Structure formats: structure tokens, C-alpha cells
Structure 1
Amino acid sequence: MVRTFLAIPLPASVKETLARLIKELRETSADVRWVRPEGIHLTLWFFGSLSEDRLARLKEALARESLGESFQLKGQGLGTFPPGGRPRVIWVGVSGDLDRLRELKRRLDKIVVPLGFEPERRPFTPHFTLGRVKSTRGLARLLKALSHLKEAVSLPPFEVREIVLYRSDLRPDGACYTPLRRYPLQGGGS
């Protein structure tokens, strides 16, 4: 079985900015499992554990379809899930060509749902996960830092030129992601 997901990869410049942000938030000493910056991405579909046969069918279906044109995104703002109450996930929001991003998500839904994958029940909320809150230790300091930085977070814009099907291996020091297949978008000019 192969644990897989489909995502938009981020360029090094964006990951470097996110690494600096995580470093600053770490200084709160809050009990958060921070994501390794090199692994940050924008998840489009999480498939869970797939057999090799089902994974092959998914790869083929994605390769057959046009996924649309390239577009620009930008990370902006800072928030938590759930929006009210005790935070469980810390994230950076996404701005830019959200209409094209939503269209890409709709195209993917039309490809993968007929393969037997259950569509997500929650609305698609594009974001970059920075960390998962493990306990309330240091939470007040973390919330103060998040409030202070909330509007100041603005990442360099980047061109979305491809989506990637990743393998996710869970390890004690965090998940490790390996690209299985890349699917280019049309265009790709800046």
C-alpha cells in the first residue's frame, strides 16, 4: 500500500520564507509539531493508502486529462483551524488566481471521483500548513505571536506550472514526501 496525495509544490523562495516564519513562531515554545519547510505544499487531494493497482489507475487517469493552464498564487495571512476555539492547525492562507485554483480542483474532482474516491465534505480551503498544535503548553504566547504576525505575512508570488502526485512515508521525525509523477499545466509562462 502506498500513502498518496496530490499537491502543488512550492518554489524554494517560498519555502525559505516559510522556514523563517516557522523559526519565529518556534520562539514561543508552544507545543506544536512544526512541518519541515522542505515538505510544505498545497494539498489538492489526499487519497490515503492505495494498492499498486489503484495507484496505477489514478496515475493513468490524471495523465489522460487536461488540467488547465498555469496560474499564479501567493501565500498571504496567517490563521488557524478551527477558526474559533482552541487551534489545532496553524496555516498561511493563499491568494492570487483563486478562480483558476478552484477550477483545477473541480477538474481533479471530475477525474478522481469516478475512480471511487470520496469527495471531501468540507469546502476547499487552500492553505499551507505550518504546524499542528499538540497541547495548550505555550498556547497564549503562540496566539499572541499569531495575532501580531497575522496581517504581516506575505510570501513571494509564484507560478503554478504543475501538480505532483506524492508518496507520503510517516516517520518519527515527520512525514517524508517523494514525488511519484508530475502533471504539467498548459502554458507555464510568467
Structure 2
Amino acid sequence: MKIRSFVAVDLPEPLRRLIWEKIITPLKGIPAKVSYVREESLHITLKFMGDVEEADLKRLYELLTSSICGFGEIFLMTEKTGYFGARNFPQVLWLGLTGDTGRLALLAEKIESATKKLGVGREKKKFLPHITIGRVKSAQNANFLIAKLEESTIQPFQFVVDRVFIKQSILKPQGALYNNLYEIPLKGGSDEK
């Protein structure tokens, strides 16, 4: 059986609540067609894989356990908001990250290498660390939406990445639901030897 899946970092609950209250809730006041990420589902995607056989996900867990366990913690901090796409028709609304983003990119590359062994295609775009907050469905009121997004801020929030998850994505009319399938700790040591 194939499972729609991805590898991600979960966010601490206080950060998810802050993003929801200070960024997403005010944006919802703009009459625009945007599918916002649910508060409990906010995360950092490291690799979207699409539909993958269940047995391959188990194999990926084994590959990642051997390649990233011991990678060590990654320290990140939230930054400003932004978007992918054109200002008059943005595609994705996001909250940027700063801190040890170089190590986060290295972690994403290790995950990319592991998924390649399973025949999952390589990402076409360069990894840009961010938290997706919404996907824009129409250009309607895009200028108002982007103006509100650009004035949306939160105090920088520091957090530690100490594990990643292989997640299942279940598409529903009201938005995607995510289930954690496997957890891979990054505990101990550093990847630099």
C-alpha cells in the first residue's frame, strides 16, 4: 500500500500557538482564498516524498536511523514572514528561519540521499528553511494579503531540533492531516568528525 509521506521537524507547541495567534489568525481576516496550515500541523518540511510503499518507509526509517542518529541538535530561531511566487499571485506563505540553518540544510541533504536510495526523485529546488503557514489558491486580494503578511511579526522564538519524523499526509477537504509514522532522534554528538 502506498502512503503519501514526507520527512519533517515538529515545532514546539508554544511556537505553533504563537504563529497561529499572531500571524495566521490576523491573515484569516483578509478575504483571500488561502488554505492555512492547522495550528497542530505546523512543521518544517525537510523532504516531501509523495506516494511511497509502506515497506519503503520502513526501509527509509532504517536508513535514516543509521545516517542521522548522532547528527546532534540544531538550534533555530524564527525570522520574518515571506512568500514564494509573485507578489500579485503568491503560492506559499511562510515564516523564515535563522540560526543553524546550514546544519539544517545538511540534514535535509542526508535525508535526500537516503530517499534517493529508495528511488524517490531529488528536490528540484534548493532547500530554503521555512515554516509553511498557508497555500494561496487564487490571486484574489493578493496585494492586501501580502501587505498584511509583511506587517505580521512575532518576537524571535528560539527552539531546538532534536528529532525528525517520517509523516503520513492524509488529504481532506478541510486540509491535510498528518500522522507521525516514525521518529528518528538526532541525539548525541555531532556530524562533524
TM over 0.5: yes
Deviations 1:49-108 (A, max 9, x none): 111222222122122223411011112111111255521111111111112112212222
Q: Choose the corresponding residue for 2:126, options 119, 123, 126.
A: 123
CA distance in 1, matches of 2:140, 2:176: 23
Partner of 2:56, secondary structure, is helix
Moved more, 2-11 or 129-138: 129-138
Among candidates 145, 151, 167, match of residue 148 of structure 1: 151
The count of residues paired between Structure 1 and Structure 2 equals 186
Moved over 3 A (4+): 152-155
Unaligned runs of 5+ in 1: none
> Conserved in 1, the CA contact under 8 Å of 2:168 and 2:181?
yes
Return the alpha-carbon distance in structure 2 between the equivalents of residues 165 and 123 of structure 1. 21
Tell me, yes or no, if structure 1 residue 12 matches structure 2 residue 13: yes
For the Cα contact (< 8 Å) 2:68–2:107, is it kept in 1? Answer: no
Which residue of structure 2 aligns with residue 107 of structure 1? 110
Runs of 5+ unmatched residues, structure 2: none
Partner AA of 1:5 in structure 2: F
Q: How far 1:182 sits from its partner (Å)?
A: 0.4
**What corresponds to 1:45 in structure 2?**
47
Q: Which residue of 2 aligns with 1:179?
A: 180
Distance in 1 between the 2:36 and 2:84 partners? 15
Secondary structure of 2:61's match?
helix
Query: Percent identity between the aligned chains?
Result: 33
1:61 to 60, 63, 69: 63
- CA separation in 2, counterparts of 1:145 and 1:134? 17
CA distance in 1, matches of 2:94, 2:135: 9
Which residues of 2 match residues 19-38 of structure 1 at below 5 A?
19-20=20-21, 21-38=23-40
Instruction: Give the conservation status (yes or no) of the 8 Å contact 2:77–2:159.
Output: yes
Cα RMSD over matched residues?
1.7
Shift of residue 174, structure 1, vs aligned partner: 0.7
| CA distance 1:163–1:83, shift in 2 (3 Å) | farther
Secondary structure class of the residue paired with 1:65: helix
Contact 1:113 1:119 in 2 (8 A): yes
Partner of 1:135: 138
| Contact 2:88 2:142 survives alignment (8 Å) | no
Partner AA of 1:165 in structure 2: I
What SS is found at the alignment partner of 2:89?
coil
